[in-house]
Structure 1
Amino acid sequence: MRAKIVELGSMQYHQSGYEPVTRYLAIVVALFAAVFVPLLAVLEWAGWRLGATVPLSVIAVEQSRSDRLVWLGTFKDYAPYKLERIRQIRPEVLLVGSSRCGQAREQMFRPYVAYNACLTAWPLTHVVDFIDRATTAAKPRVVIVALDYFLFGDFLAEAWRKERTMDFTQGIDSHRRKLHDVTDFVIRTGGNVDTIRSTLLTPQVEPVDNNILIGPEAIRGKFGFRKDGSVIVAPPYRSTSAETLSRGAQYVTSSFPGAPHLSEGQIREVERLSRLSRERGFSVVAIQYPLLESAAAFLDTDETYWPYSGLWRELKSPQTVERFARLGIPFFDMSRTEISQDSGNFFDPAHPSERGMLKTYLALLTRPEFSKLFPLIDRDALAADLDRRKDEQFDLYH
């Protein structure tokens, strides 16, 4: 009996010892919930208002409903967003690649339904992976790939493979990242309450066409992706374009590391693309888009850079063109043509403007191997588009 009393007393002692701790923890949890839950609710509301946490599939649908929406989120979301747009549009013509083809517009391919899925893939392994996803989501007839000399160097390919991987999972980590973007957006405003309130409550527009901006990066930078996938040239690029264009050689050498020879490992990715095109039943067209004349001339002639411009020379060689042709991939090197001689066709030495892109397609349509894929395009109508806005550097189509 005494042992039982001792046991019960011990239990009572331990219970009474834990009661203050339990009450303390309950208070802490309650206080945390009282502070954190409202903050989280406000953050989620702000994320939705900014477009940061709106599902990319919803944004894709909304852009199909309106011509006046421009989206830009964080870099990792570019490809998954464009994949959602591809599911919506189901384009007959699909453009894939880096920022070099970002200014191609759907009007340049009318009457075909076209979508610009550039700025989704840089290393060739990502290019082919994205095309694999895109041709599963839709059934394009023609895929146009931006195929540049610098893509065939292993060093740059490996760096881009690590740095520029897209977030196709869009899971809880993605949502957490987007909430962080909202917090970062608020911090970058300097905590200005009036600015934050105005941004959250009033639609924000970009200055070119007054399109409504969706996404923290779109609102902050005043640019983004139109419904056809093309990207508006950002205001800072417009204001510094003349200065940047003056640094043609310096721009390409600092932006794109060279190498003596084309990498066979990267060419295997082109072979993988060829197999995929045969399996899925689409045609592939590869284009090296124009470079500014000063940049192209440097790659052609500078003897000190000769060991690094092997990629440039070999990609353009008849042997490489023939090798791609045997894979069923016609390669059109437009890197140095008359288009390169007019700086108004670019907004920096490596990026053609809308005018430069339209001139590129007009030139390609004179080549039978290209034009046979697009028999319904009215070249005269495109030439008239160009003539109407012949002095416009950035925006031919509004």
Structure 2
Amino acid sequence: MARYVAIIVALFAALFLPVLAILEWVGWRLGATVPLSAIATEQSQDDKLVWLGAFKDYAPYKLERIKQVQPEVLLVGSSRCGQARAQIFRPYVAYNACLTAWPLIHVVDFVDRATTAAKPRVVIVALDYFLFGDFLAEAWRKERTMDFVQGLDSHRRKLHDVADFAIRTGVDSTAIMSAATTPQVESVDQNRLIGTEAIRGKFGFRNDGSVMVAPPYRASAAETLSRGAQYVTSSFPGAPHLSERQLGEIERLSRLSRERGFSVIAIQYPFLESAAAFLDTDEAYWPYSGLWRELRSKPTAERFSKLGIQFYDMSRTPISQDKQNFFDPAHPSERGMLKTFLALLGRPEFGTLFPRIDRDALASDLDRAKGEQFDLYH
């Protein structure tokens, strides 16, 4: 019996180990299994490198970048702030750590980690009305937890991603070898792509942390922008009132800022006008838009102010009226982000935090890129 077991083990090893070795080699070549710290270092040395791996690796990857960049200005939050570029804050060193945290508990946890790894002077948090509903917060807490451990389970997950990459190519050995041996580039700025998702999707995170708009989103932007009200109601469940449980996370953020010595700016970024108008006026949706109304109210602003948090509601401004400022009803494009921060810099309290930013230079950036929806900074 022992002899048969030994034979089976030997056969399994003979079949499995070569496959594992190939997976490991392809995974390394694609950048899937390269340590995130190594990718972060390489991006510091090569500003034409774009990375994208598995969703669970976004936050640990950006934490490694924060260690490298040591930003003075740190942006944190969901995909809503993903298009903000570091150039907007020049001459200050800025890093976009958005797409790392959705529920507020994760936002504060990430800020805690980031302000341990670096010492930013200002942390800008994307603070949206839908973050204050317990139902969505709990769903996102379960679904969108990041993998900060990066241990053996993480490595197995990444090898699975490599196998999935191979399957999606139809197990085409020529295509797989080409991806593994030939530098892959995206078509907008000819950035080199590293990571299975970057290579497959032709986009990813730039070295300033901003994310390129993926080709499918570019192609479908006009159609998606036509569905403003439908987009927000299907994407973000509402509720009658702001949750005290979620407001407790804002209090935790306030305490953290005092302990670590950084200023907190909270921004509700623009929504497309049709989406904002629906939230403002639709009577049938009124019981669900309480979050929207209460976050934008004077009592809430005063509550934040007492916590030492500057809150700016930019959800419905003239920026909302131009579809060029968005790539879908809830996501400002680079153009929309630049316009948002130009408007904020005109407000005394905000502008005081950034006295060295040249607003005229930013306005010139906007003028030079007239008609450009997605990529103002190349």
Alpha-carbon displacement from aligned partner over 1:14-33 (angstroms, at most 9, x marks no partner): xxxxxxx2322222222222
Q: CA deviation at 1:257?
A: 0.4
* Residue in 1 that maps onto 2:214: 234
> Is 2:288 the counterpart of 1:301?
no
Matches within 5 A, 1:148-167: 148-167=128-147
Aligned match of 1:348 in 328, 346, 367? Answer: 328
Q: Which amino acid aligns with 2:341?
A: Y
Runs (5+) with no aligned partner, structure 2: none
Verify: 1:271 aligned to 2:251, yes or no.
yes
Which of 65, 79, 88 aligns to 1:108? It is 88
* Residue identity matched to 1:28: I
Which one of the candidate residues 170, 189, 193 is aligned to 1:209? 189
The correspondence of residues 318-329 of structure 1 with structure 2, limited to 5 A, is 318-329=298-309
Which residue is 1:87 aligned to?
A: 67
Report runs of 4+ in structure 1 exceeding 3 Å deviation: none
Pairing 1:126–2:103 present: no
SS of residue matched to 1:330: strand
Q: Trace 1:30-179 onto structure 2 (pairs within 5 A).
A: 30-179=10-159
Between 208-217 and 188-197, the greater mean CA deviation after superposition: 188-197
| Partner amino acid, structure 2, of 1:90 | Q
Percent of aligned positions that are identical: 81
Q: How far is the alpha carbon of 1:55 from its aligned partner?
A: 0.4
Structure 2 counterpart SS, 1:285: strand
How far apart are the structure 1 equivalents of 2:51 and 2:372?
24
**Does 2:322 correspond to 1:335?**
no
Query: 1:374: Cα distance to partner?
Result: 0.4
Say whether 1:290 aligns with 2:265: no
Which structure is larger by alpha-carbon Rg, 1 or 2?
1
Distance (Å, rounded) in 1 between the aligned partners of 2:57 and 2:204: 12
Q: Cα deviation per residue 1:190-215 (whole Å; 9 max; x = unaligned)? A: 11222112111111111110101111
CA–CA distance in 2 between the matches of 1:355 and 1:212? Answer: 24
- CA drift of 1:154 comes to 0.4
Task: State yes or no: 1:368 paired with 2:348.
Answer: yes
What is the CA deviation profile of residues 220-257 of structure 1, one whole-angstrom value per residue up to 9, with x for unaligned ones?
A: 11000000000000000000000000000000000000
Within 1, Cα distance between the matches of 2:9 and 2:126? 55
Shift of 1:149: 0.3
Question: Which of 10, 22, 29 does residue 2 from structure 2 map onto?
Answer: 22
TM-score (norm 1): 0.94
Q: Deviations over 1:59-83 (max 9, x none)?
A: 0000000011100000000000000
SS of structure 1 residue aligned to 2:184: coil
Match of 1:314 in 2: 294
Q: What is the SS of the residue equivalent to 1:231?
A: coil
Partner of residue 220 from structure 1, selected from 165, 187, 200? 200
| Superimposed CA distance per residue, residues 21-57 of structure 1 (whole angstroms, 9 cap, x where no aligned partner) | 2322222222222221111111100100111100000
- Output the amino acid matched with 2:249: E
Match for 1:384: what amino acid? S
- 2 CA distance for matches of 1:55 and 1:147? 31
Say what the alpha-carbon RMSD is for the aligned residues: 0.6
Secondary structure class of the residue paired with 2:50: strand
**Structure 2: distance between partners of 1:34 and 1:338:** 66
Deviates more, 1:33-42 or 1:68-77: 33-42
Deviation per residue, 1:97-153 (Å, 9 max, x gap): 000000000000000000000000000000000000000000000000000000000
Cα separation, 1, equivalents of 2:6 and 2:266: 64
User: How far apart in 2 are the matches of 1:295 and 1:308?
Assistant: 14
Q: Which amino acid aligns with 1:99?
A: S
The separation in 2 between residues aligned to 1:298 and 1:145, in whole angstroms, is 25
* Whole-angstrom distance in 1 between the partners of 2:6 and 2:359: 74
Q: Quote the Cα distance in structure 2 between the aligned partners of 1:225 and 1:29.
A: 43
Distance (whole Å) between structure 2 residues aligned to residue 73 and residue 302 of structure 1 = 40
* 1:226 partner amino acid: R
2:367, 2:36 → 1: CA distance?
37
* Separation of aligned partners in 1, 2:363 and 2:73: 20
Counterpart in the other structure of 2:242:
262
Q: What secondary structure does 1:391 align onto?
A: coil
Cα distance in 2, alignment partners of residues 47 and 244 from structure 1: 35
Provide the residue aligned with 1:16 in structure 2: none
C-alpha distance in structure 2 between counterparts of 1:27 and 1:308, whole Å: 64
Q: Which amino acid aligns with 1:291?
A: F
